[in-house]
Amino acid sequence: MNLWRLSLAYLRHQKLTAALNVFLLALGSAIIVVLLLASTQLKDNLVRDAGGIDLVVGAKGSPLQLILSSIYHIDAPTGNIDLAEARRWSRHRLVDRAIPVALGDSVQGFRIVGTSDDFLPLYDAEFAGGRGWHAPMQAVLGAQVAAATGLSVGDNFAGVHGFAASGHTHEDSRYTVVGVLAPTRSVIDRLALTDVRSVWALHGGLGHDHGHEDEHAADDHGHEHEHEHDEDHTHGHAEQPGAPDHDHHDTHAAVEQAPLPSVLEPDFPATGRQITALLLISDSPLAALTLPRLINRVSSLQAAAPVAEITRLLGLIGFGLDTLAAFAGLMIAAAALSVFVALYNALRARRVDLAMMRSLGASRVQLLRHILLEGQMLALGGVTLGLLIGHLVTEGLGLWLQDAQLFHLTGWAWQPAEWGLLVMAVVVGLLAALLPAIQAYRVDIARTLAGE
Partner 1 sequence: MLCIRDLEHCYTDVPVVRLAHLDVGAGEQLAILGPSGSGKSTLLHLLAGVLTPTRGEIQVCEQPLARMSEAARDRFRGRHIGLVYQSLHLIAALSVAENLALARYLAGLAPDPARIDDTLERVGLVAFKASYPAQLSQGQRQRVALARALVNEPRLILADEPTSSLDDANAERVATLLIERARAADAALVVTTHDRRLADRFERRLTLGETRVVA
Binding interface with partner 1 (CB under 8 A): 1-2, 6, 9-10, 12-13, 352-353, 355-364, 366, 445-446, 449-450, 452
> Is the CB of residue 67 less than 8 Å from the CB of residue 49?
no
Residue 49 CB, nearest approach to partner 1 (Å): 56
Residue 238 CB: number of other CB atoms within 10 A? 15
- Taking the least distance from each CB to partner 1, the nearer of 289 and 450 is 450
Closest CB to partner 1 among 169 and 448?
448
Min dist CB 434 to partner 1, Å, is 22
What's the closest the beta carbon of residue 375 comes to partner 1, in angstroms?
16
What are the angstrom distances between the C-alpha of 252 and each of 123, 173, 176, 244, 375?
Answer: 29, 15, 12, 12, 74
Q: How far is the CB of 345 from partner 1 (least distance, A)?
A: 15
Q: DSSP secondary structure string, 26-82?
A: HHHHHHHHHHHHHHHHHHHHHHHHHTT--EEEEESS-HHHHHHHHTS--S-----EE
Instruction: Tell the smallest beta-carbon distance from residue 350 to partner 1 (Å).
Output: 9
Provide the pairing of β-strand 156-157 with 274-275. Answer: unpaired
The DSSP-derived string for 238-272 is SS-TTS----STT-HHHHTTSPPPPTTSTTS--TT
Shortest distance in whole angstroms from residue 343 CB to partner 1 = 14
Nearest to 190 by CA among 149, 247, 236, 239: 149
Nearer to partner 1, 216 or 364 (CB): 364
| Separation between Cα atoms, residue 63 and residue 156, nearest integer Å | 35
Q: How far is the CB of 123 from partner 1 (least distance, A)?
A: 59
Identify which of residues 136 and 381 has a Cβ nearer to partner 1 in the complex. Answer: 381
> Strand, helix or coil at 334?
helix
Distance between CA atoms of 294 and 302, rounded to whole angstroms? Answer: 9
Nearer to partner 1, 356 or 426 (CB): 356
Query: Which amino acid belongs to residue 381?
Result: G
The DSSP secondary structure of 70-129, one letter per residue, reads HTS--S-----EEHHHHHHHHTSTT-SEEEEEEEEEEETTEEEEEE-TTHHHHTT--EEE
Measured from the CB atom, the residue of 7 and 262 that comes closer to partner 1 is 7
Min separation Cβ 22 and partner 1, Å: 17
112 vs 339, beta carbon nearer partner 1: 339
